């Protein structure tokens, strides 16, 4: 199969982690007879520096003509500390989501035995945690009318949802739960918010079409607590934009490292795949960032291309690195390997080049990955 992939390195550690994914994708292409054609484009602080815009028109043009987008990270401290900045890197991402109608953000939260000790949760609460969050991504308070009064003392962010915006993502979440444990939790604040009551009404109606799926409804404050107390109870979580932003960051710490988590944003057109970690500017260019979140996002992209066996192989490679202690600094502050080395090892595994004995001292010197 031939696929056109728009690559947006973005900011901070974006370029170095995304390069590892491309390396792995190339190994997959080689092994399975595919072809991935990359086209590079700009977004975020990098785009502002180079063009003045966080999402240049050329980027939109390229992504519209691609099969998928592989995206690194967005954000730079110089904008975070300046709330009055007129142009912000995040505007590029929000505009891209809206332009491509990427209405569903999918974030799987998996736990790995090898990382249990890093999780703030007790091991007994971690075993078997497997949650996927479906966050609405193009509506709600993020995209509502925003106003600041002339005297600067009153501000407003409007939160609006239309039935069709709820139906289209709920459909994806119901379908996904049919493939999984057939449990779906709608997270809302229906005791207070009108939009949440609409979400509940729509989801309740739709549940009739999925009689096998056990649906429950949970207020977001309780869900935040349940996520820590007993994450195993969740299978598929469906929620609106803002609640999903918060709950998914909370859920991400369960794994033990934010650097591990992938995501997919899908809609009617080109889909986008990105790790959920930020741009981590302090680590940029140091070759220390964890590339696995990006590599696992590339695996989600392979699934999206219906390359299921290929995606499975990439996930197996990632698990192999973790189980053998080939990890970056975020996972092991003492014995760790570079971003590039981890990328090389995942690639080598995909190429079936991993020998039974690996020379760890060569690896730590960033020499050849294979003896």
Write out the residues near ligand IPM by the rule CB under 6 A: 74, 90, 93-94, 245
Query: Phi/psi of residue 211, each to 5°?
Result: -60, -25
Residue 288 Cβ, how far from Mn ion at the closest point, in Å? 22
CB burial of residue 327 (10 Å; 0-12, 13-18, 19+): buried
Nearest-10 Cα torsion for 272, 275, 276, 279: -110
Comparison of 265 and 339: residue with beta carbon closer to Mn ion: 265
Give the CB-nearest residue to ligand IPM: 90
- Establish whether 189 is a catalytic residue: yes
Q: Strands 183-188 and 236-239, how do they pair?
A: parallel
Residue 276 Cβ, how far from ligand IPM at the closest point, in Å? 7
Residue 274 Cβ, how far from Mn ion at the closest point, in Å? 11
**Among Mn ion, ligand IPM, none, partner that 26 touches (CB below 5 to 8 angstroms by kind):** none
Q: Which of 80, 21, 12, 49 is nearest to 274 (CA)?
A: 21
**Among ligand IPM, Mn ion, none, partner that 93 touches (CB below 5 to 8 angstroms by kind):** ligand IPM
From the candidates 249, 286, 312, 367, give the one annotated as an active-site residue.
249
- Establish whether 287 is a catalytic residue: no
Comparison of 227 and 302: residue with beta carbon closer to Mn ion: 227
Q: Is 245 in the site for Mn ion (CB under 5 A)?
A: yes
Give start and end residues of each alpha helix (H) in the chain: 14-32, 45-51, 57-64, 77-80, 89-99, 123-126, 163-179, 194-207, 220-229, 241-255, 292-304, 308-323, 339-350, 360-364
Beta bridge partners of 208: none
Half-sphere exposure of 154 (CA within 13 A, CB side): 3
Which span (61-69, 175-183, 222-230, 245-253) binds Mn ion, by CB under 5 A? 245-253
- Establish whether 249 is a catalytic residue: yes
Comparison of 135 and 347: residue with beta carbon closer to ligand IPM: 135
Q: Count the Cβ atoms, other than its own, within 10 Å of residue 112.
A: 19
Comparison of 91 and 369: residue with beta carbon closer to ligand IPM: 91
- Establish whether 130 is a catalytic residue: no
- Establish whether 142 is a catalytic residue: yes
For Mn ion, the binding residues (CB under 5 A) are 245
Q: Write out the catalytic residue numbers.
A: 142, 189, 221, 245, 249
């Amino acid at each position: 199969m031939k696929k056109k992939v728009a690559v947006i390195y973005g900011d901070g550690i974006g370029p170095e982690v995304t390069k590892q994914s491309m390396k792995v994708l190339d190994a997959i292409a080689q092994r399975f007879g595919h072809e991935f054609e990359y086209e590079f484009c700009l977004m975020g602080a990098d785009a502002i520096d180079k063009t003045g815009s966080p999402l240049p028109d050329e980027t939109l043009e390229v992504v519209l003509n691609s099969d998928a987008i592989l995206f690194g990270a967005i954000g730079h401290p110089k904008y975070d500390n300046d709330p009055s900045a007129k142009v912000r890197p995040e505007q590029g991402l929000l505009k891209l989501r809206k332009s491509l109608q990427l209405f569903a953000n999918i974030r799987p939260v998996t736990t790995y035995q090898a990382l249990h000790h890093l999780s703030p949760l007790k091991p007994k609460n971690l075993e078997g945690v497997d949650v996927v969050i479906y966050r609405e991504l193009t509506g709600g308070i993020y995209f509502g009318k925003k106003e600041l009064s002339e005297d600067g003392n009153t501000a407003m962010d409007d939160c609006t949802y239309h039935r069709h915006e709820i139906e289209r993502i709920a459909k994806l979440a119901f379908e996904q739960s049919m493939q999984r444990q057939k449990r779906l939790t709608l997270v809302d604040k229906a005791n207070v918010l009108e939009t949440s009551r609409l979400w509940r009404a729509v989801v309740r109606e739709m549940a009739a079409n999925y009689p096998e799926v056990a649906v429950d409804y949970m207020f977001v404050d309780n869900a935040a607590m349940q996520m820590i107390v007993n994450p195993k109870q969740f299978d598929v979580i469906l929620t609106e934009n803002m609640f999903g932003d918060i709950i998914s960051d909370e859920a991400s710490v369960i794994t033990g490292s934010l650097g591990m988590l992938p995501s997919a944003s899908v809609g009617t057109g080109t889909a986008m795949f990105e790790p959920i970690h930020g741009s981590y500017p302090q680590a940029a260019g140091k070759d220390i960032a964890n590339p696995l979140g990006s590599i696992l996002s590339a695996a989600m992209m392979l699934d999206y291309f219906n390359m299921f066996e290929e995606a499975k192989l990439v996930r197996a490679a990632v698990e192999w690195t973790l189980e053998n202690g080939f990890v970056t600094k975020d996972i092991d502050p003492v014995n760790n390997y570079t971003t590039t080395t981890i990328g090389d090892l995942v690639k080598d595994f995909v190429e079936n080049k991993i020998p039974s004995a690996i020379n760890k001292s060569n690896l730590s010197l960033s020499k050849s990955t294979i003896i």
